[in-house]
Amino acid sequence: VSVLVTGAAGFVAATLIDRLLARGDRVLGLDNFSRGSRALLGDKPRHPGFTFEEADLSSLESFRSALGAYQGEPIREVWHLAANSDIPAGVADMNVDLRDTFMTTFNTLSIMEERGIKRLYFSSSSAIYGDHGERSLAEDSGPLLPLSNYGAMKLASEAIISAAAEKFLETAALFRFPNVVGAPATHGVILDFVRRLKTDRRVLQVLGNGSQKKAYLHISDLVEAMLFVQSRQIPRVDIVNIGPTDSGVTVRQIAEETVQVAAPGAELAFGTGDRGWVGDVPRFRYSTDKLQKLGWQPKLDSLGAIRRAIHEICKQECLA
Ligand SMILES: NC(=O)c1ccc[n+]([C@@H]2O[C@H](COP(=O)([O-])OP(=O)(O)OC[C@H]3O[C@@H](n4cnc5c(N)ncnc54)[C@H](O)[C@@H]3O)[C@@H](O)[C@H]2O)c1
């Protein structure tokens, strides 16, 4: 094993692990299938470079025992992706993000220290910033006032990773993701719309008034960006906003584009207010200048990413 990936049965891991295997890494994936699934592992279990263990990483005991069979094997780096990805679920029950977003990070660091693993790549989120209106947010913008327990526990995760870097890590990349779209989708606005249209092809009920505007990145670009940053000489703790260069698209645009592909002619029914749910950030602008200065640009802008993802997710859900 050269690389450990937590959250290995999830959406982002599905593409990341394929890329790691393609570059010759031997990957050990861990997941408890709480949000991901065995089906999302796809062909990976047949790949000679891939092994998988089912484990609840919020329990240090379960984490350790999953690694029991790999005791003598040096692990070069960890990609920590396991987290709760359902923001409303974490708002409804505060325990969800403490357990799946924070404790999985805490335990990942404990295991890394025990085993002397010094390189960590972490999937943080734009949710750590909170609501700053139209202001463009760079990596050093603040104050950091998350609106959801999910964002709060990602911010707490960044904080404890920073402390671990002072103690024993050589490299900690804190990647702040925007909304990431594509297949195999496990959550997100497009999957939600497609599933709603599957049950009712005439009306698409949209949460909020549709004016929420955010940046979207296609999964293929996200994974490229992370591997690009990894290939550079990065400081011990490096925060990188990953995203497109445009200011994003509105939920109304996404609804219209989805209807066109999944159920042409369906009517759009909007809710009220500019938030889809408690903890939703209505408008969000990201500065990705740092990544651009390093020399990386996404292939797709927000609208391009949304369009490609709609086709992929309709196919996934057998609607196209
Ligand atoms: N997709 C996005 O738009 C987005 C945006 C910002 C940040 N992120 C972050 O990227 C990472 C990957 O997200 P994703 O979209 O692939 O979500 P996902 O839900 O598809 O994947 C997360 C995986 O973690 C696993 N997991 C959760 N709790 C666990 C636990 N206690 N023990 C073991 N496994 C556990 C889930 O089963 C799931 O397979 C997450 O950390 C997420 O917070 C994603």
Pair 186, 36: CB distance under 8 Å: yes
Q: Is the CB of 56 under 6 A from ligand 1?
A: yes
Ligand 1 neighbourhood includes 212 CB (under 6 angstroms): no
Whole-number Å distance, alpha carbon 287 to ligand 1 midpoint, is 23
pLDDT tier at 184, thresholds 50, 70, 90: very high
Specify whether the CB–CB gap between 245 and 292 falls below 8 A.
Answer: yes
Q: At residue 190, what are phi and psi to the nearest 5 degrees?
A: -70, -45
Cα 81 to middle of ligand 1, angstroms: 5
Residue identifier of the C-alpha nearest atom 7 of ligand 1: 125
**Residue 272: what pLDDT?**
87
pTM of the shown model: 0.95
Atom of ligand 1 nearest to the CA of 154: 43
Closest C-alpha to ligand 1, atom 9: 123
Q: What percent of the chain has pLDDT over 90?
A: 88
Decide the pairing of beta strands 213-214 and 249-250: antiparallel
Q: Is the Cβ atom of 179 under 6 angstroms away from ligand 1?
A: yes
Average pLDDT over residues 2-16: 97
Q: Is 249 exposed, middle or buried (0-12, 13-18, 19+ CB in 10 A)?
A: buried
Confidence of residue 176 (pLDDT cuts 50, 70, 90): very high
Is ligand 1 within 6 A of the CB of residue 148?
Answer: no
**Distance separating alpha carbons of residues 76 and 78, to the nearest angstrom:** 7
Q: Is the pLDDT of residue 227 over 70?
A: yes
Buried b (16+ CB within 10 A) or exposed e, 169-181: bebbbbbbbbbbb
- The percent of residues above 70 in pLDDT, for the chain, comes to 98
Q: Could you tell me the distance, in angstroms and rounded to a whole number, from the CA of residue 228 to the centre of ligand 1?
A: 21
CA of 265 to the centre of ligand 1 (A): 34
Q: To test the ligand 1 pocket, which listed residue (12, 54, 190, 284) has its Cβ within 8 A of the most ligand atoms?
A: 12
Q: Is the CB of 186 under 6 A from ligand 1?
A: yes
Per-residue pLDDT at 233: 77
- The residues pairing with 181 across neighbouring beta strands, listed in sequence order, are 218
Whether the CB of 85 sits within 6 Å of ligand 1: yes
The answer to whether 212 and 276 have CB atoms below 8 angstroms apart is yes
Do 86 and 187 contact (CB within 8 A), yes or no? yes
Q: Side chain identity at 93, as an amino acid letter? A: D
Q: Is the CB of 57 under 6 A from ligand 1?
A: yes
Angle (nearest 5°) at CA 206 between 201 and 207: 145
Q: Each residue of 62-75: pLDDT tens digit?
A: 999 999 999 889 99
7 lines ligand 1 (CB under 6 A): yes
Residue showing tokens 């594509």: 182
Q: What is the pLDDT of residue 319?
A: 67
Residue 320 predicted with pLDDT over 90: no
What's the pLDDT tens digit per position in 79-114? 999 999 999 999 999 999 999 999 999 999 999 999
Q: Is the pLDDT confidence value at 280 over 80? A: no
- Atom 13 of ligand 1: nearest residue by CA position: 12
Ligand 1 lined by 157 (C-beta under 6 Å):
no
Residue 264 Cα to ligand 1 midpoint, Å, equals 32
